[in-house]
A and B are shown apart, each in its own frame.
Chain A
Amino acid sequence: MRLAGDSGILRKEQEMWESTDKSLQEAFQDLNALMSKAKEMVMLAEKMRQKLLSGPTTQPGANDEEMGSKQEMQDWMLSVGIASPVTKESAGALYHQQLSRLLADFVKIPLEKAGGMINLIDIYCLFNRARGTELISPEDLLQACSIWEKFDVPVMLRKFNSGVMVIQNKSHTDEEVFARIKSLALKPDALKTGLSASDAAMTLGIAPAMAKEHLLTAESKGFLCRDVSADGFQFYINFFHEIDPSDLYFVKDYGIYDTWVKAALASCWELSTDSRLWNCTANLVLIVGPQKKRFHSHLGPPIECDVTGTEEIVAVLLVYSRFYKTHPYSLEQVTVGPRPDLDREENHLDREEKATGRERRFCASLDRTSTIGRPVP
């Protein structure tokens, strides 16, 4: 055949195409052969499976041998990739047993790093990342962890009410954690402004999600109670059970309620008998109505409450100031001297100031931008 010219090129292409087609056909033939063989294999496996499922024989003598060969068959099937037909009740397939042992070893180090408790999802990631290939599925992980309870391993799987699952050191008992949380909640800061999940996490050295689970569990046991507000979600030590409904004002000595009262409502500074403080607090008070008094301070928004004596005014200020930790209301901050920010060239002493011979004392700068006046009683 002459391979020249256009027809030659065309013919060459045709030949190439034909040979490709031929080899494809051959390959597919092999594949078809494989598939038909595979079909036979699957049928064989199914037959074996059925035999395994049929249960032990009635002849007592042949029992052990039967079990042995059954175990072998199971292992072969597993290695071929066919799932074990036995139920969760049994010790589980060899694969999961081995995985379980492997996991128990692997989990030791991350557990320590995480402070004794680690999220199951985190272990899944860590383990698979370490494996590199032949990754395990979430179901494998779950099954392997469930096997732990049958063996004497120092770790356990635990499920919280919220559905979160964790792996925990057996030694990391609940009682221990509650004791630590209780002592955390009794610290002065926690008594004043509560304990958040992130605070607990930092102090206990565990992940915030874990800390939250612990706090919630402690709450369900009655050690803590929650405070939900615009500021966030905090927990406080629980002392509701110490309060007697028939005597709302009684505080038992040395109880948790007493501790809280002393810490949270206690003074940020020593109660002073300095008359300047009384004068200053008097200056702070703007009488709005016959019963109500409104406090303006540089600490925050004005508060209104009903008080009758100066002692009570100070007590209220004490409670108020604890929430502005960054601006502790201290005696030093109360300026009693001449106002430094006022230009006396422009703002002469007014009539009252001249009469009393001293400047008005304010502890907060006057806000002359406000268009709302004092309400007329």
Chain B
Amino acid sequence: MQKLGDLKLPNFFNYPPYFTLQPVRDTREKQVQLWKELILDYCRTQKIFVIGLEEEFPLFSNPVIERTLSHEAKEAFLSALVAEGRAEWMDKGHKKCLILWHRIQDWADLILRFVRENGLEDSVMTVEEIRSGTESRGTELHGMDRTVLMRALKQLEHKGKLAIFKGTSADDEGVKFSL
């Protein structure tokens, strides 16, 4: 089976019409569904959080059949993900898209689980430590996108599970858990 990174590519990835935005409504709906799933799967396996429409994204072209998605097609598929709540546009020009292969809620739950499993209920950590510290190694939190992490933390702050504060150094923010 063909692979792209760690993702196994399904057979229809070699089907040329898959790379042309279909004009017929029913056909397009199906096509969009398949692209949404594939984009999420790919980003999940490769831990990609941002897709830039102006850059080359390996999933959007298939050199074996020599087909690449047009800009219009890319925007259509990503907009569909945004409409479903699995992605967000980072700018008005729709040039960068934040992919939420885990929803913010899911990330929040993962953080809570991480805190409980490591006995960090009343402790303090910096934001950087959460995403790149030794404790998080091996978990999904490791290597997380900072923007997404901040969003999840803010959501938890709203629920009173933690408090975010500015650290002593200008750089990093800290988090005090109070589960």
On A, residues with C-beta under 8 Å from B are 194, 219-220, 222, 225-231, 234, 236, 238, 240-241, 243, 245-246, 248-249, 251, 257, 260-261, 264-265, 291, 303-308, 312, 315-316, 319-320, 323
Residues of chain B within 8 A (CB-CB) of A245 are: 33-34, 36-37
- Summarize A's interface: helix, strand, loop or mixed: mixed
Residues of chain B within 8 A (CB-CB) of A257 are: 11-12
Question: Is there an interface contact between A229 and B34, defined as CB atoms closer than 8 Å?
Answer: no
Question: Is there an interface contact between A225 and B14, defined as CB atoms closer than 8 Å?
Answer: no
Q: Pick 13 A–B contacts, CB within 8 A, sort by A.
A: A220-B24, A226-B23, A227-B20, A228-B20, A240-B34, A243-B12, A245-B33, A248-B38, A249-B11, A261-B11, A265-B11, A265-B14, A303-B64
On B, residues with C-beta under 8 Å from A are 1-5, 8, 10-12, 14-17, 19-20, 22-24, 26-27, 30-31, 33-34, 36-38, 41, 63-67
Residues of chain A within 8 A (CB-CB) of B34 are: 240, 243, 245, 248
Question: Is there an interface contact between B24 and A323, defined as CB atoms closer than 8 Å?
Answer: no
Question: Is there an interface contact between A229 and B66, defined as CB atoms closer than 8 Å?
Answer: yes
Question: Is there an interface contact between B24 and A222, defined as CB atoms closer than 8 Å?
Answer: yes
Question: Is there an interface contact between B10 and A320, defined as CB atoms closer than 8 Å?
Answer: no
Residues of chain A within 8 A (CB-CB) of B10 are: 243, 248-249
Kindly state the separation between the CA atoms of A194 and B23 in the bound complex, as whole angstroms: 17
Residues of chain B within 8 A (CB-CB) of A238 are: 17, 27
Residues of chain A within 8 A (CB-CB) of B23 are: 219, 226
Question: Is there an interface contact between A226 and B22, defined as CB atoms closer than 8 Å?
Answer: yes
Question: Is there an interface contact between B24 and A305, defined as CB atoms closer than 8 Å?
Answer: no
Kindly state the separation between the CA atoms of A245 and B33 in the bound complex, as whole angstroms: 6
Question: Is there an interface contact between B24 and A225, defined as CB atoms closer than 8 Å?
Answer: yes
Question: Is there an interface contact between A306 and B27, defined as CB atoms closer than 8 Å?
Answer: no
User: What is the chain A residue whose CB lies nearest that of B22?
Assistant: A225
